[in-house]
Structure 1
């Protein structure tokens, strides 16, 4: 007999949990505080263009994502594109992302290029991440690539993504990011990335329909104020001030919200959640009348730019206008995160004009900024051991977010894989 199970959060992981539960004969009820499903993958209306607030792309190794497309009959809407990478360095736009580009890169010695290339290559061949789990990332990279390649190709990426946390990150976490991009190549010289026709919204809507068709519910604008716990067991949830009974609750909301929503957890568990750190993001989306470059991803190392890179999304997914994402990652407690949107919009306009001097004011159709307080967990050495267990010492309660598939970086496919597995484990 199927059970009625509460799922907190309708991002990709929460939807994946509900999707699997519904397919296994249960009645999931998904509670989402936002007015739409998707979390960080949710789309918004950008003056007539429906597009994600934060950029997403797919790699050929994203098996869990591709499996769901097959199950939902969406596989024929997947498109694969040969994309390019670039590097903005010393006021010069250079090709990047393959051995020839590395050899021709201006601003690095031959020895530094060799050491950098060898490290990247070995990262794609490594399978066992455990030896890197307790290793600090910046020291690990510097030992491999040397101080010259570190300064040119790595340091600003750390500085402008992690700020004060830069010197205490897990090498396993950084390794997984190098490997994922390396494995998106279908040859040594060519990179292939994917997009879904209609964007992530195509998948999200189809998953939501599948959940509801099998007896599940998705309740938008329904913020769970509290998970009700009594006698070491889940009793239900309080939604918009009203209690509702459930004997099983699965939470996929960002972990920093957990102590607020589950104040009755044991103190030692609460302390473990409270100790976790996250970086926020202010992501500016620019709509232009002309292209910025020919690259999908552009790394930047420029003293006048406080970003590690930008994404020219329309060099992956063709659209009527040229769309560029410029993410400013910054700790939520940093004063920069409190600056008004206009500060970030002005910076982006200035940066893009510097990269492509042919851009004029009239080429900027519109710019918009989105903010997400808990965009990126800070994974320090030994991170996994500090996370509370997914199945908490409260009967009927499971908690996870994107942090739990460490050392993998957050992504739609990883969220789907973890969410479905969590749902299957609950069935057991």
Structure 2
């Protein structure tokens, strides 16, 4: 089943709330109390929805800023106030992302969303091509014309077919190779699968590939100056409603205690340890992290759901004094072999560089197993690996144009979605009373994304509220 997206008009009545809900209701309420583990899009949305219902809620996040994988940093510290926040990893919206678009509207930020159709290209044979539109595919001369037509027909079928069931029976590599032909698959799609999933590329489910074609639009949106503004607004609103948001606080463990309640062990940034007690816990952390933090989870649950692999995400972010990619290219998939990164995203070929003090912002992204040596390299080592590769793509590139650079890594950011994956997805309701679990492993057949996090959070809170009503 495809994870549903809701806008506010479609939201079930149990999740609706009055627009003038009192900021004091949470502080004085004697209703249910919940501790939310994790301050990404999913955790923040859960905490916001519970706070809007007047419930007592505390969100705990280990990083000093909210937003998880979508959190930002300030790349232009010479600007007043340190300048705007920029996402640590590249993000954008699709027109079909109705859940997060509705949330942005709800928080009064719609005027800051920039929509457009930036240039998406692929590097093949040392040249730039644009095969991701109908005219671009028809003109993609590395493939014989019959292969272009065949690929277009397959992509049209994937875009039109609304049910995931058929695709779950196949791997992406095998099905695409048979349907598109070996040449078309080998030029456009196999390099991307292998760059992203490495030795696991042949195991990836066709359902995963289908979801990326079916659920996406050609138009892209970006919340200016960065999505950090959304997550900061959510923190402010949760606090306004009386909820608590504890940033820079580590969760060391959680366990059920007498009276059907939960005890959560916390450690502040200064090393101070303390315990929080609540009626329920919602973990929005990766399943394997949840399993480590809650030792009381039944062995049968662990065996079934603490399963599978997930790769880490890695980005080198460059601030340049001049543009990098030609033809105003925003997104460049690197299909040629021998490069240490799989994608180049020139953010300021979509958002004006004036937003960042005239700096041109470029992301060089990768996914790798968590034990890959890239994750232990210093910024200087990563730059030394990447700069020669950048010069192969853009021969005129001069390292002296780099005004600043940063590296970011995120563990377990890319689930390995195999055909067996659906049978291992944990239910939202945990196996212990008062425990709820929501993570990127539950947005199948999608594998990640801010929109799907918001939609999953809405569904999780709906199930929580429905269960409570049934127990009354």
Deviation for aligned residue 1:328: 1.7
Q: Does 1:344 align with 2:382?
A: yes
1:242-281 superposed matches below 5 A: 242-281=274-313
Q: Does 1:285 align with 2:320?
A: no
Q: Does 1:219 align with 2:219?
A: no
The Cα offsets for residues 28-62 of structure 1, whole Å up to 9 and x where unpaired, read as 10011111101101111224252111110011111
Corresponding residue number in structure 2 for 1:14: 43
Corresponding residue number in structure 2 for 1:369: 407
Corresponding residue number in structure 1 for 2:13: none
Find the aligned partners of 2:258 and 2:247 in 1 and give their Cα distance. Answer: 30
The Cα offsets for residues 263-294 of structure 1, whole Å up to 9 and x where unpaired, read as 11001112234322110122111111222221
Q: How many residues align?
A: 420
Given that 2:312 and 2:414 are in contact with CA atoms closer than 8 Å, whether structure 1 keeps it comes out as yes
RMSD, aligned α-carbons: 1.7
Given that 1:281 and 1:373 are in contact with CA atoms closer than 8 Å, whether structure 2 keeps it comes out as yes
Given that 2:173 and 2:204 are in contact with CA atoms closer than 8 Å, whether structure 1 keeps it comes out as yes
Q: Does 1:65 align with 2:94?
A: no
Given that 2:150 and 2:180 are in contact with CA atoms closer than 8 Å, whether structure 1 keeps it comes out as yes
Name the SS of the counterpart of 2:130 in structure 1.
Answer: strand
The Cα offsets for residues 44-85 of structure 1, whole Å up to 9 and x where unpaired, read as 122425211111001111101111122111112211122111
TM-score (norm 2): 0.85
The Cα offsets for residues 233-253 of structure 1, whole Å up to 9 and x where unpaired, read as 552211124222112000001
Unaligned residue ranges in structure 1 (runs of 5+): 186-191
1:401-420 superposed matches below 5 A: 401-420=439-458
1:4-403 superposed matches below 5 A: 4-48=33-77, 49=83, 50-181=85-216, 184-185=217-218, 192-230=219-257, 233-240=260-267, 241-293=273-325, 294-319=328-353, 320-403=358-441
Find the aligned partners of 1:205 and 1:129 in 2 and give their Cα distance. Answer: 35
Deviation for aligned residue 1:351: 2.5
Q: Does 1:2 align with 2:40?
A: no
Runs of 4+ in 1 over 4 A off after TM superposition: 230-234
Given that 1:194 and 1:316 are in contact with CA atoms closer than 8 Å, whether structure 2 keeps it comes out as no
Given that 2:342 and 2:364 are in contact with CA atoms closer than 8 Å, whether structure 1 keeps it comes out as no
Given that 1:2 and 1:27 are in contact with CA atoms closer than 8 Å, whether structure 2 keeps it comes out as yes
Deviation for aligned residue 1:122: 1.4
Label 1:93 to 1:208 Cα distance change in 2 as closer, same or farther (>3 A).
Answer: same
Label 1:223 to 1:358 Cα distance change in 2 as closer, same or farther (>3 A).
Answer: same
Unaligned residue ranges in structure 2 (runs of 5+): 1-29, 78-82, 268-272, 467-472
Corresponding residue number in structure 2 for 1:188: none
Find the aligned partners of 1:101 and 1:222 in 2 and give their Cα distance. Answer: 49
Given that 2:60 and 2:245 are in contact with CA atoms closer than 8 Å, whether structure 1 keeps it comes out as yes
- Which one is further off, 299-308 or 203-212? 299-308
